[in-house]
Amino acid sequence: MIKRQLEKVIQSGLNQGKAIILLGPRQSGKTTLMETIASQLGDYLLLDCDDPVVRQQLENANTEELKQILSDYRLVFIDEAQRVKNIGLTLKIITDRFKEVQLLVSGSSSFEISNDINEPLTGRKWEYILYPISWVEFESQVGYLKARQQLEQRLIYGMYPDVINFQGKEQKVLKQLSGSYLFKDVFNFKGLRHPELLEKLLQLLALQLGNEVSYNYLAKILQVDKNTISNYLQLLEKSFVIFRLRTFSRNKKNEIKRGRKIYFYDTGIRNSLIGDFKPLELRQDKGALWENFLISERRKQLEYQEKIAGTYFWRTVSGQEIDYIEEKDGELYPFEFKWSTSKAKHSKAFSNFYHKEVKLINRDNFGSFVSEEI
């Protein structure tokens, strides 16, 4: 079993009078991580909300009913909490009335569970996000050399636990994930009127990887209005399928000020959506895959190291571009990504504008970028 970076982070938040809330995409390992943490602490009560009896007991439960359910347990793990109506109020009662109980809560759909828990649990929770396996976790498990030998596979098949664990069956696992299962929370969302539109939108986004995305263009191709595109993209973000990167601008002449790029949290899911698992040497999109992989891995580290940073890309009207910029404490850290290890040129316009050296990240030196604080 691959040891997760969040394990220590979550452990540091225990026994502080707050519920531990763990969100993330389906099949990212939330249940396994929570059970690992709970088992290290002794006996615990597992309430699996996929079980209809458990759901019924927790819905609108009062203090006395919860006292019977919790019994004498000091540690309670509520799994798939988003399936319980009014779960936020139930968690609030447990946190307020049973102060000796440490709550661990997992949920796979942030637009459902966040809506239910944010107000009731204000000031009563630590919230974390668990993504698919990070490169840091993978390398720690298999070792530096073996990890590097599998780098191309990871770009093609991604980092979901089952994809890594079932070598030789990656396409089968991804087919199941990128079908209805990964998007189950989105498909079940009451505001989603056209599930087939969502599938077409995902394929369009997969084909535009690495390019700026126009909502007007997407709306025109899919024959819907721009607001529908915006709403569907929000659902996909909140279900941890995609994330957006905005343009960086300080209003200098010639800068693009309102652009956006969309990336997938996992390149394997992206490739599965378009049915393309060709080796890198046969691909036209390896540069975009490399870019997506690095930015996604960097995003994981910012979350796991609990760092706050602005993340952007930069582009001018004339087409000069920087792939990725982090802004922390007023300082800018620009990066350009190249799969090739040969000496590559990049635009000097950003350096001239902002007096910041752009660092080139390739497959020889990417390790520090995806693992350490910049």
Domain that holds residue 240: 135-196+234-369
Query: Does the structure show a pLDDT above 80 at 251?
Result: no
For residues 339-364, average pLDDT: 87
- Reported as a single tens digit per residue, the pLDDT across 36-62 is 999 999 999 999 999 999 999 999 899
Query: Does the structure show a pLDDT above 80 at 259?
Result: yes
On whether both 28 and 97 belong to a single domain, the answer is yes
Residue 296 lies inside a defined structural domain of this protein: yes
Beta strand ranges found along the chain (DSSP E):
19-23, 45-48, 75-79, 102-107, 125-129, 242-247, 260-264, 310-315, 321-328, 331-337, 359-361
For residues 99-103, average pLDDT: 96
On whether both 67 and 163 belong to a single domain, the answer is no
What pLDDT score was predicted for residue 24?
92
On whether both 34 and 165 belong to a single domain, the answer is no
On whether both 153 and 41 belong to a single domain, the answer is no
On whether both 125 and 146 belong to a single domain, the answer is no
Q: Which residues pair with 361 in a beta bridge?
A: 337
Residue 209 lies inside a defined structural domain of this protein: no
Query: Does the structure show a pLDDT above 60 at 166?
Result: yes
What pLDDT score was predicted for residue 112?
62
What pLDDT score was predicted for residue 102?
97
Domain end residue (candidates: 76, 102, 129): 129
For residues 89-100, average pLDDT: 94
Residue 215 lies inside a defined structural domain of this protein: no
- Reported as a single tens digit per residue, the pLDDT across 269-307 is 999 999 999 999 999 999 999 999 999 999 999 999 999
Residue 303 lies inside a defined structural domain of this protein: yes
For residues 332-353, average pLDDT: 86
- Reported as a single tens digit per residue, the pLDDT across 304-332 is 999 999 999 999 988 889 999 999 999 99
Q: Where residue 86 sits, what CATH number does that domain have?
A: 3.40.50.300
Residue 321 lies inside a defined structural domain of this protein: yes
Query: Does the structure show a pLDDT above 80 at 246?
Result: yes
